[in-house]
Amino acid sequence: MSSPRKKAILNAIATSPVRPASCEEKSGEACAVFGRNVFGLSAMRKRLPKDVYRKLAKTIQGGERLNPEIADVVANTMKDWAIERGATHYTHWFHPMTGLTAEKHDAFLSPASDGQVISEFSGKMLISGEPDASSFPSGGIRSTFEARGYTAWDPSVPAFIIDAPYGATLHIPTYFYSYSGEALDRKIPLIRSISALSKQALRILRIFGNRTGKYVRANVGPEQEYFLVDKNLAVLRPDIMLAGRTLIGAFSSKGQEMEDHYFGAIPGRVMSFMQDVEKELVALGIPAKTRHNEVAPGQFEIAPVYEEANIACDHNMLTMNMMRHMAAKHGFICLLHEKPFAGVNGSGKHNNWSISDSDGVNLLNPGKTPQDNAQFLVFLAAVLRAVHKHSVALRIGTVGAGNDHRLGANEAPPAIISVYLGEQLSEVLEHIISGKSAKNKKTGFMEVGVSTLPPLPVDMSDRNRTSPFAFTGNKFEFRAVGSSQSIAPVNIALNAAVACALDDIATELEAAISAGAKLNEALQELLPRLFREHMPIIFNGNGYAASWAKEADRRKLPNYANSVTALEHYSDPEVMNVFLRHGVLSEREILSRQEILLESYAKTMCIEGNVLADMARSLVLPICLDAQIKAGDAVLKTRAVLGDKNAKNEEEHFNLLRSHITALQKETGKLEAAVEKTQEVEGALEQARSARDNILPIMAECRLHADVLERLVEDRLWALPKYAELLWLH
Ligand code: ADP
Ligand code: MG
């Protein structure tokens, strides 16, 4: 066997579990450790002067503006707290449009007049920063001559400490915006979407007589899937290292068909990795709760307890960072790509979403009284209206070259956005629409008139894994998000769309009531109409079935199967309006995001095309050509010994090899040309289209031949670790 591959396999087998760093801490201590590395409310309460704490808590909990007078005290206290924990540096931590997080560290050092240095961290340093940010994507918002980007402290997410062997760094979550005040990140629009949602939802609560609620917030629990691949093997594969996924690779004879990996016993090395990650997350105040093996071999999942949307989003970014980082320590590479391996499931991220009021009441919980139920039905109607009217905005929240391999590939929900409500709840809606008083055998519903609606059963929903947006009892689960993606875009779209729907509903109800109608009368009139209008978005059937695409078309539900097609519609007036209406994104921000996402798509495809071409030329073809010479020799030798007519088998093998080698050579040339051509195309949309239409199909052709060749060439000569090794050695 080719020696580097063999060595890597032997090393992978010999690697034993690494003891998690904090192993000495006994189990059951999670509560004591929880949040140890964050400067959260409890650390603030202990350390800050009472009046300062009270002011800051108001900002954090009530969303009030930060009082700049307290900034110096907070900064100084935060610095002392961090230094006690070994911090030498601080950084503003933000989310540029790269889809990753960004940080630039500064030491807590300032020159003193006597030529010495003192440790310093002022309120100004805490509140604002100005990283030289000219190299982040801005989609035309910043040209390099006005490159300044600014960071501003987001006190609603606690600052946290990331440790390193020679000193820790205090991380301060921040917004990132341009000189002209436009959002360059995903946090700003997320916060704007949350306040839009809050404002409109409060109008509904007021209509229902709630006078005390101060705000409504979105809660999110993201379930995160990922793959682990042994590092010894991964480093031999340029596709894994540079593209985060395999671009070639013959399928392993055993994949997930036995369903023996899902929820199986967690391998020892993986378990140590998970425990290490969880310990760190818990110390960072991230409530990591669930871990298990996923469907594909080598695939796993981590899920936290849900949190407020802005915090959940930051925490999910941190979780992904931590997993990538910790994997190296345990001899793995953590793949967050949506489709690392062809032929087995890819990875997604289930965005569990609900809304609750300032008393913590979940507004998507069917209530116990008719009054509560009526309110629940109004919020349900709003969500249905939001998803029906604004499904394109939601679809755009899931775009990305990686996620295109998943959506609609019969392992993830289709690119058609629909809502799964389950049989029982759908039946309730049908009764409301028809206005009939009906007795449901199963659930015992008697009256559907809102005023007399009896309690709805709590666990009304069944499971349907094929729906992109499923109601699961008291929350919606949006399943089309890709595993590598930030959850911000989807939540921005969801909050903005629901805010629009609530606005419509509140406006109507307010008008009816001020015209003298009773609330119940207004609801009796409104709800059946709304449910009827938005019935087409409900689909409880099998989202993988081919017939669904036809049916969805009949219902006029958009089906934008790939990212480029979806992104084209970002600038449609009705899509832009979802974001413009409550100031979640400005027109310039939308257009810049559209451009960034299209560019990122094209760049990803060009990188993948180049990596594949390089691999074909330097790792696949040389070995295949050697094999071809050997096969040719075999033909000649056999002919010499047995006669010209008796070398059929050898000739067949030679011809097969040769035909695929010739084809791979030809396709590789075409691929290189396609990448070059795409790079020369002007305009983000045209370039992305070129990438999709030219690079993607040729990559598939190359792969076809490379994968046949992998099977034809003697195993010990093959240089690239194979699927069986990548998927099964843990
Ligand atoms: P599964 O969908 O795998 O059965 P669960 O439904 O128990 O798992 O939870 C999945 C995720 O949904 C978890 O992160 C959980 O905290 C989150 N979740 C539970 N309730 C809510 C809620 N009301 N709002 C938002 N997320 C929630
Ligand atoms: Mg779930």
Averaged pLDDT, 33-58: 94
Identify whether 592 is part of a domain: no
pLDDT at 436: 65
Query: Could you tell me if 95 and 170 lie in one domain?
Result: yes
461 closest CA partner among 448, 447, 475, 450: 475
For 455-492, the pLDDT digits (tens) are 565 555 556 778 999 999 899 999 999 999 999 999 99
Q: Strands 168-178 and 307-308, how do they pair? A: unpaired
User: 175 and 188 in contact (C-beta within 8 Å)?
Assistant: yes
- Residues 348, 316 within the same domain: yes
Residue 419 pLDDT exceeds 80: yes
304 Cα nearest atom in ligand 1? 14
**Is position 361 within any domain?**
yes
CA of 187 to the centre of ligand 1 (A): 22
Instruction: Pick the more confident residue, 616 or 254.
Output: 616
401 or 134, which is more confident: 401
Task: Check if 306 has its Cβ closer than 6 Å to any atom of ligand 1.
Answer: yes
Q: Is residue 432 part of a domain?
A: yes
Q: Which of 166, 185, 204 is the last residue of a domain?
A: 185
Answer yes or no: do 125 and 55 share one domain: yes
CA 538-541-543 angle, to 5 degrees, is: 90
pLDDT tens, position by position, 63-74: 777 888 899 999
Regarding whether 198 and 174 lie in a shared domain, the answer is no
Find the 426 Cα to ligand 1 centroid distance in Å.
22
- Characterise 486 by phi-psi region: left (phi > 0), alpha (psi -120 to 50), beta (else): beta
**The pLDDT of residue 714 is above 50:** yes
- The residue from 553, 585, 617 where one domain ends is 585
C-beta of residue 18 within 8 angstroms of C-beta of residue 331: yes
Distance 642 CA to ligand 1 centre (A): 70
95: domain CATH number?
3.10.20.70
- Which phi and psi angles does 669 have, rounded to 5°? -60, -45
Kindly report the pTM of this predicted structure.
Answer: 0.94
**Tokens 């899509």 appear where?**
575
Q: Is the pLDDT of residue 308 over 80?
A: yes
Which of 475, 476, 494 has the most ligand 1 atoms within 8 A of CB, as the residue to mutate? 475
How wide is the angle at C-alpha 285 spanned by C-alphas 281 and 290, nearest 5°?
A: 55
**Same domain for 494 and 362:** yes
Is there a single domain that holds both residue 179 and residue 200?
no
Q: What distance in angstroms lies between residue 352's CA and the mean position of ligand 1's atoms?
A: 6
AA identity, residue 701: E
Domain-embedded: residue 412: yes
Asked if residue 1 belongs to a domain, the reply is: no
Across 509-520, average pLDDT: 96
Kindly tell me if the per-residue pLDDT of 581 is higher than 50. Answer: yes
- Nearest-CA residue for ligand 1 atom 17 is 221
- pLDDT tens-digit series, residues 335-378: 999 999 999 999 999 999 999 999 999 999 987 776 778 999 99
**Closest atom of ligand 1 relative to the 222 alpha carbon:** 14
Q: Is residue 6 part of a domain?
A: no
Asked if residue 396 lies in contact with residue 407, where contact means CB atoms within 8 angstroms, the answer is no
Total number of residues shown for the chain: 730
Residue 60: pLDDT band with limits 50, 70, 90: confident
Is 134's pLDDT higher than 80? no
Same domain, 327 and 351: yes
Tell me: pLDDT of 138 over 90.
Answer: no
| Domain at 677, CATH number | 1.20.120.1560
What is the distance between the alpha carbons of residues 195 and 314, in angstroms, rounded to a whole number? Answer: 17
**pLDDT (tens digit per residue) in 427-462:** 889 888 987 644 444 444 333 344 445 456 555 555
Q: Greater confidence, 247 or 141?
A: 247
Closest CA to 90 of 20, 158, 171: 171
**Residue 593 lies inside a defined structural domain of this protein:** no
What is the domain extent for residue 719?
Answer: 598-728
Which ligand is nearest the CA of 475, by number?
Answer: 1
- Torsion angles phi and psi, residue 470, rounded to 5: -115, 135
Asked whether residue 152 falls in the same domain as residue 197, the answer is no
What is the gyration radius of the CA atoms in the chain, in angstroms?
28
Report if residue 15 sits inside a domain.
no
Find the mean pLDDT for residues 694-712: 98
Q: How far apart are CA 31 and CA 454, in angstroms?
A: 40
Q: What percent of the chain has pLDDT over 70?
A: 93
Indicate if 304 and 368 belong to the same structural domain: yes
Q: How far apart are CA 501 and CA 577, in angstroms?
A: 12
Could you tell me if 379 and 479 lie in one domain? Answer: yes
- Out of 292, 306, 495, mutate this one to test ligand 1's pocket (max ligand atoms within 8 Å of CB): namely 306
Same domain, 267 and 389: yes
- Ligand 1, atom nearest to 352 Cα: 26
Q: Which residue has the higher pLDDT, 259 or 510?
A: 510
Residue 306 corresponds to which tokens in the numbers above?
A: 């849900």
Same domain for 545 and 675, yes or no, is no
Tell me how many domains the chain contains.
3
Among 157, 185, 213, the domain-final residue is 185
Measured from the CA of 362, which atom of ligand 1 is nearest?
Answer: 23
Rounded distance between C-alpha atoms, residue 102 and residue 79, angstroms: 21
